[in-house]
Amino acid sequence: MLVSKGKYHAVRLHNRCRICGRPRSYYRDFGLCRCCLRKMAHEGLIPGLTKSSW
């Protein structure tokens, strides 16, 4: 049983984009947010990632 009912964790980690620091819409596989992922994909900076078409 916990003695105090305060904070249980001193620090809570949250995944953030490596480039801009955005906390939302984060892709774990790339370490980027959707905005930076899209920008880098259009510039061809992410190998193996291509725009889909059908």
Instruction: Tell me the per-residue pLDDT of 1-54, one tens digit each, with 9 for 90 and over.
Output: 455 666 677 788 889 999 999 999 999 999 999 999 999 999 999 999 888 888
State pTM to two decimals: 0.71
pLDDT of residue 32: 96
Among residues 47, 19, 52, 54, the alpha carbon closest in space to that of 34 is found at: 19
- Look at phi and psi of residue 34 and say left if phi exceeds 0, alpha if psi is from -120 to 50, else beta: alpha
Residue 2 has what pLDDT? Answer: 53
The number of CA neighbours under 13 Å toward the Cβ of 5 is 0
Q: What is the DSSP letter of 46?
A: S
